Structure 1
């Protein structure tokens, strides 16, 4: 894990909208053979039926996505890049995407993260995710305030009374905090940030950047 933290810290020094270079990967074992290991493998949860994940639990490559519902770059990724990743890799069983909450932009970010968890409790996290990111929103402008979140919940067919109860629960807030602490432990302080298998990728990079990283790892297996 120390190696993972150092690698991420080196990458995350870059601005969020700049390309990131792949992190160096340590050799496995130490007896030669040119094999490498994934220093981030322990972070992938691979839980069956995880409502905050897309793709098969045993997919060869897992993408960890650290994001904030108010982050404009996260929205760009959700609208422009993620659908292509789902079509070309997730739907074919090659990639799994696991969401991680990193609400760092203010109160509306924290409330939206809790709301996303409440949507997940009803099996509609990704519908909620897509509805939030469907348009650009000004940070802490009220576009994700209490009324807005409830409107989004209604629009994706949630039981709003249950939604309100779940997002206010201590368990929900604890789950969001766990993701935040995971990110912080690696020096991740901004969004979007991704760990694509064994490689940190920072910012709303184009589809081709993800494709290159994924294809390299699939080819090495």
Structure 2
């Protein structure tokens, strides 16, 4: 079938894939949670909105393969950045909770939390946030408070501003050493996303 660039509809806004990265921003961004090798020559940066269904599919269906192929061997530095675009309170509250997990319970707990919480997309609630936080070794009550109060909103806003300064406008956006991965229409989003992201990483590793 002919492959054409596709814009995916979110809750109240258009979210898509494959924007072209612009010039680097001049301001220092917030410290990102990092998986893989922090000192690797290849950096994969993924901008996510926790209310975006394609971000969920990428994290749950693509990230595990990337982790096995590139992160565990230490070939890639994998960065998470927040980019709320969907008109939902959870687009701000979930990343505030995740940032609190990161700061209070550490990097490993952050990655566990941000994976497990996606299972509740469409039915997010504070009880789920607290429960998942407890499961990953964080203080569930404190994480719930961080979500309700959006206590890390300024950090999330800074992440989004940094993304915008780099040409990001949609989620998920995947950058490999600053270059956007182009994802096109496919009947199997996860397979296509894995194929294109892996190809971009392989090219960067050469």
TM category (shorter chain) comes to: 0.7 to 0.9
- In structure 1, what is the Cα distance between the partners aligned to 2:41 and 2:28? 11
Aligned pair 1:199/2:179, yes or no? yes
CA deviation after TM superposition for structure 1 residue 110, in Å: 0.5
Instruction: Give the total of aligned pairs.
Output: 184
- In structure 2, what is the Cα distance between the partners aligned to 1:211 and 1:70? 25
Q: Which residue of 2 aligns with 1:35?
A: none
* C-alpha distance after superposition, 1:155-211 (max 9, x if no partner): 3232124324555475x2221111011122234222100111142025664212111
Give 5+ residue unaligned stretches, structure 2. Answer: 9-14, 184-188
Runs of 4 or more off by more than 4 Å in structure 1? 16-21, 39-45, 164-167, 202-205
Aligned pair 1:98/2:82, yes or no? no
CA deviation after TM superposition for structure 1 residue 213, in Å: 0.8
1:125 equivalent among 96, 103, 110: 110
TM-score by length of 1: 0.70
Q: Which residue of 2 aligns with 1:212?
A: 199
TM-score by length of 2: 0.75
- In structure 2, what is the Cα distance between the partners aligned to 1:19 and 1:115? 25
- In structure 1, what is the Cα distance between the partners aligned to 2:102 and 2:117? 14
- In structure 2, what is the Cα distance between the partners aligned to 1:91 and 1:195? 19
Q: 1:81 to 1:102 in 2, by over 3 A?
A: same
Structure ID, larger Rg: 1
1:54-73 aligned at under 5 Å gives the runs: 54-73=35-54
CA deviation after TM superposition for structure 1 residue 129, in Å: 0.8
Calculate the aligned-residue CA RMSD, in Å. 3.2
